Amino acid sequence: MKDLVLYMTIGYPNENTFFQMLDMLDEEKVPVLELGIPVGNPFLDGDLIRQSHKQVLDSGIGREKIVRWLQKIRREYKFRIILMTYKEGMEKFCLSELDRKLYDGILCVDEVIRADSGMKPVQIYNETMTEVQMLGLLAENANFAYVMSGNGKTGSFSRLPDGYIRTVHFLKKNTALPVYVGFGIKTLKDVKAVCSHGADGVIIGSHFMRIMREKGCLECKEYIKIINNYLQKTALQS
């Protein structure tokens, strides 16, 4: 089964809309939610996600609210939760001290979290890494492997790069962990391309957030149906 991973910034654009979106994701059986924990300088992210971080931070979000929302998500939804943040977010919200039962894994963009931490870390890979570097990260990877499709910020790609292909092939030969590709994935054509090169799933962030902001929940639902229908068909054919 090929997996669809969707990114959302926690609490964006507001609490009510955020949980309405989660209701829909659960209804559509999205398997994994990458949940962005906001920071002041999300340097790997483009304008749209940067703005979402700023808006949530300006609303006064704190650790207590994050914990309360994660508890609610755990109670009410079936999808897996991967927290995504930066070292700044790890420290600001003391994420290493969170109850491990509140999430299924964590990705820290600018700090390698060790596999023996108990936080089930996701590690991120890109085309500039040597094989030695990738093997080193795999040793600390206790979740899926996140492959960047190319070099750049989230939401900055006008088309899907192809720099990920060598990385995916190398990882598939060297780990039994699922290998997912993110950055620059927008269309069904992009999803098909990524899956055709051996990826076990796709991660869609900026494009999904843009649909949510500009067109709303119903359009997001239709978008998910299109992607999920294809991924389910590929599972049946394999």
Q: pLDDT by residue (tens digit) across 127-151?
A: 999 999 999 999 999 999 999 997 7
pLDDT of residue 44: 86
Query: At a CB cut-off of 8 Å and minimum separation 6, what does 229 contact?
Result: none
Per-residue pLDDT for 157 more than 60?
Answer: no
Percent of the chain with pLDDT over 90: 89
Kindly report the CATH class assigned to 3-237: alpha beta
The b-or-e profile of 74-89 (16+ CB within 10 A means b, else e) is eeebebbbbbbbbebb
User: Average pLDDT in the 59-63 region?
Assistant: 97
> Is the Cβ–Cβ distance between 159 and 184 less than 8 Å?
yes
Per-residue pLDDT for 29 more than 70?
Answer: yes
Rg of the chain, C-alpha, whole Å: 17
User: Is the alpha carbon torsion for 28, 32, 37, 40 positive or negative?
Assistant: negative
The predicted-structure confidence for 167-222, as pLDDT tens digits, reads as follows 999 999 999 999 999 998 999 999 999 999 999 999 999 999 999 999 999 999 99
- Taking the model in full, what pTM does it have? 0.94
- Distance CA(204)–CA(210), nearest Å, equals 11
User: Average pLDDT in the 153-171 region?
Assistant: 77
Point out the least confidently predicted range of 32-36, 80-84, 148-152, 182-186.
148-152
Per-residue pLDDT for 64 more than 60?
Answer: yes
Percent of the chain with pLDDT over 70: 94
